[in-house]
Structure 1
Amino acid sequence: MSWAAWRDSDVINVYFKDVPCYECEKPEGIHTAFSKILATLNQPSANYTLSFANKLYGNKDIAFIQKFVFCALKLYLTEVDGVDFHNAPEEVRRLINLWVETRTHGKIKDLLPKDSFDCLVQLLLVNALFFKGQWEVKFDKELTEEAPFYPHHADEKECHSVQLMHRKGVYNAGTIDLCNVQVQVVEIPYKNNELTFVLLLPVDCSAEALEQLEDGLSHKHLLDLSCHLKAIEVDLAIPKFSSEKSIEANEYLNLPDLTDHEKADFSGATTTEGVALTQLVHDASIEIDEEGGEEPEPVPCPKDRRPRREPVEIRADHPFLYFIVHNCTQSIIALGRFAKPE
């Protein structure tokens, strides 16, 4: 039986009749606000694919509190599961990899390499994301060409090859001073303007300029960029690429209140004492290609005797930053650096 058919049947009422409906938080709480954003992002769309895989794995000797299990799923779409890390770590690793692969439609495989954890794991939190969108107006595949990409500066000895996509059109764009770096910025909308891909290309091709930009950026900078842009004709060239990055997030985040056995307090999640988060694994996979909607029909207009301005060239043939924003919720769902082809 399909999920849709099962969902609409009386079976679900029988199955869940003994499950209490916990009040996880007051309606105005911050966790509830995050829940609404996640619910919006998780809605099916024909314009993009956005897949989340969130799951907390605990060794089977950890007794999770049922309210925590319920609220983690309700508020953060995060499942909680008990597994046998201590006696069967390799089997658990394969199980986690298969689950992530399934949830991301086969796009993220082998998230956890062999020997990525041992039998002493208590809690392991997995977070993975896959995104691929359809542009509001597609790039013409026939114009995509193999072109040089300079990782640090315009030095032919260090150049790599990329598939460079091309399109001339009207985009919100401009050259602005951002963190004391001159940056070309262009917004490339996805279908129905649900999401936007924003390219930040330093005019200076040096590694130092990119590093200065990256170090100085803030969340406010990113969300305020649109105020400094205007609709102009752009001759745009950006690489076609797929990017996947997997990290042990607890190595980058300072989380002693979760990972230190002396400081961690999971009393709201489990009745088992002395529990701490052993690993937090994050993986993001992004695909950027030509696919999208058709070119709109040109609108006839009276002849303008003023000389037509040449399009502004934005050619991303050296390292740049990018982010993808969900416009309705102003949520940044991906933020990355393209430094060289993989």
Structure 2
Amino acid sequence: MNRRKLLALSGALAAATLSGCTGSGQADPTTQTDTETTTATPTEMTETPTEEPPNGEPSVDDDRLAALASGNAEFALDLHAHLASEQGGNQFLSPYSISVALAMTYAGARGDTREQMEDVLHYTLGEDIHPAFSDLQRSLGKRETATDPVDGSEVDAFQLAVANTLWGREGYPFSEEYLARLEEHYGAGLRRADFTGDPEGERTRINDWVADQTEDRIQDLLPRDSISPQTVLVLTNAIYFMAGWFHEFDPEKTADGTFTALDGSESTVPLMRQELKTQYADLPGAQAVELPYVGEEVSMVLILPDEGTFEEYEQNLDASRLFGVFEELRTSIGDLVFPKFEFETEVQLSKALSDLGMPAPFGAGADFSGMVAGGDGGLHIDEVFHKSFVSVDEEGTEAAAATGVLVEESLPPSWGELRFDRPFLFAIRDRPTDAVLFLGRVVDAGEAQGSE
């Protein structure tokens, strides 16, 4: 279903919901005007905040899903803060996509490699992380439909598609137990790939799959030469989301305005505007507003730190404080002015993940023996590629992301050139028993040339 058609259908559903649910806590769109009203402003409707930011927890009853949501938020904010401090500029990630791709990799990790991944990715559930991700994906799938308030039928609310696939080197002896676990919990089947004979062709094949899963929004996830004959496995996740606002913005009210960037520079951008009843919070150091999508089960939460405090607020935002923001949201009415925007983010995450505390998976000593039949080691993560896209306008939001984890065979360590041009010892041994059959030395190779 294309963007315009889906957003038109979801807009019609939102209108039907609003007209059929007067008194439900949502604003009647006929009351949303540009004229002044006697309604109290959001700030007037909230209590004076305490000095300390609120703390909170995920609002889910299932303990396993709550642990997953909390851990994923911790990882998301850790990674966001690290990349923001290192790279600056606009940034958009799918921590869900990254975490799923790395969870599939983690399923084969052992020893220090596994422990470091647990710590950095906040996988507090151990082996239960895999069924938890499976439960979450099933739960997310239920958000795609909503009930039409007019006739009670089930209709498309928005589009949310998640896909996982493994690409494994032809002939490589992957553990059947490992593959079965990923198939069961992630729906990730194994596709054999000729990484040795046609690495560029397989790279194109993987990129084409990603583009197809993301409505062509994510192109060329894996850059040229990222696949090599040493590549053993590529684990991919792709996610695509498109939804219409429950309260759409009127395009006729969109007008150019000034946006002040972090460095103080100003630019002219299209600013959308509407008066609406929605969830709002006046917090210590920030204000927040929630914009629900059609169906009202998925939303965008906007956080506006106090002027001049953005970087400090961002760096101090952890999962507990983020959930605290969610818990403080209350129904309120006000004017919202919000820019249209669209951009992409492309990152390679090996350095960031190593800096955060998991260098072991990327080194030659990594232990991913759980991926291999017989438990042999010799594999490491070469790189984690992530690419994302977001577009926000009067109708709604389109977002897509993909993650690719490249696993390679570790090459034997190289000693460079070793020149036996001076005295040396040598032994002839029986390898299974280490029995020394012969032992000798050469101190003058000139005298040891024999006779022809």
Same structural fold, with TM-score higher than 0.5 when normalized by the shorter chain: yes
TM band (smaller chain): 0.5 to 0.7
Alignment of 1:317-328 (within 5 A): none
- Size of the aligned set, in residue pairs, is 260
Superposed displacement of residue 201, structure 1: 1.0
3-state secondary structure, aligned to 2:216: coil
Tell me whether 1:290 sits opposite 2:394 in the alignment.
yes
Task: Say if 1:162 and 1:240, in contact at 8 Å, map to a contact too.
Answer: yes
2:276 to 163, 169, 178: 169
Letter matched to residue 272 of structure 2: M
Give the fraction of aligned pairs with identical amino acids, expressed as a percent: 29
Tell me whether 1:137 sits opposite 2:237 in the alignment.
no
**Structure 1 pair 61–165 and aligned structure 2 pair: CA distance change class (3 A):** same
> Counterpart of 1:6?
none
3-state secondary structure, aligned to 1:64: coil
Q: Could you list the runs of 5+ residues in structure 1 that have no partner in the other structure?
A: 1-23, 293-323, 325-332, 335-342
1:29 to 128, 141, 163: 128
Comparing 105-114 with 250-259, greater Cα deviation is found at 250-259
Task: Say if 1:124 and 1:278, in contact at 8 Å, map to a contact too.
Answer: no
2:381 to 267, 277, 282: 277
> Counterpart of 2:157?
47
Q: Could you list the runs of 5+ residues in structure 2 that have no partner in the other structure?
A: 1-106, 108-126, 146-155, 402-452
**Structure 1 pair 283–52 and aligned structure 2 pair: CA distance change class (3 A):** farther
3-state secondary structure, aligned to 2:200: helix
**Structure 1 pair 262–32 and aligned structure 2 pair: CA distance change class (3 A):** same
CA offsets 1:282-339 (integer angstroms, 9 cap, x no match):
22322322226xxxxxxxxxxxxxxxxxxxxxxxxxxxxxxx9xxxxxxxx99xxxxx
Distance 1:55 1:280 in 2: 15
> Counterpart of 2:426?
none
Alignment of 1:187-336 (within 5 A): 187-204=290-307, 206=308, 209-254=309-354, 255-271=358-374, 273-291=377-395
> Counterpart of 1:90?
200
**Structure 1 pair 55–210 and aligned structure 2 pair: CA distance change class (3 A):** farther
CA RMSD of aligned residues (A): 2.8
Task: Say if 1:187 and 1:198, in contact at 8 Å, map to a contact too.
Answer: yes
> Counterpart of 1:300?
none
**Structure 1 pair 53–160 and aligned structure 2 pair: CA distance change class (3 A):** farther
**Structure 1 pair 118–289 and aligned structure 2 pair: CA distance change class (3 A):** same
Letter matched to residue 132 of structure 1: M
Give the 4+ runs in structure 1 shifted more than 6 A. none
> Counterpart of 1:298?
none
Superposed displacement of residue 243, structure 1: 3.3
Normalized per residue, which structure has more helix?
2
2:137 to 30, 38, 45: 38
Superposed displacement of residue 91, structure 1: 0.8
Distance 2:245 2:238 in 1: 23
**Structure 1 pair 227–42 and aligned structure 2 pair: CA distance change class (3 A):** closer
Superposed displacement of residue 199, structure 1: 0.4
Task: Say if 2:167 and 2:233, in contact at 8 Å, map to a contact too.
Answer: yes
Superposed displacement of residue 114, structure 1: 2.3
**Structure 1 pair 247–29 and aligned structure 2 pair: CA distance change class (3 A):** same
Task: Say if 2:161 and 2:241, in contact at 8 Å, map to a contact too.
Answer: yes
3-state secondary structure, aligned to 1:122: strand
Tell me whether 1:103 sits opposite 2:210 in the alignment.
no
Letter matched to residue 310 of structure 2: L
Q: Normalized against structure 2, the TM-score is what?
A: 0.52
Superposed displacement of residue 103, structure 1: 0.8
Q: Normalized against structure 1, the TM-score is what?
A: 0.68
1:149 to 240, 250, 259: 259
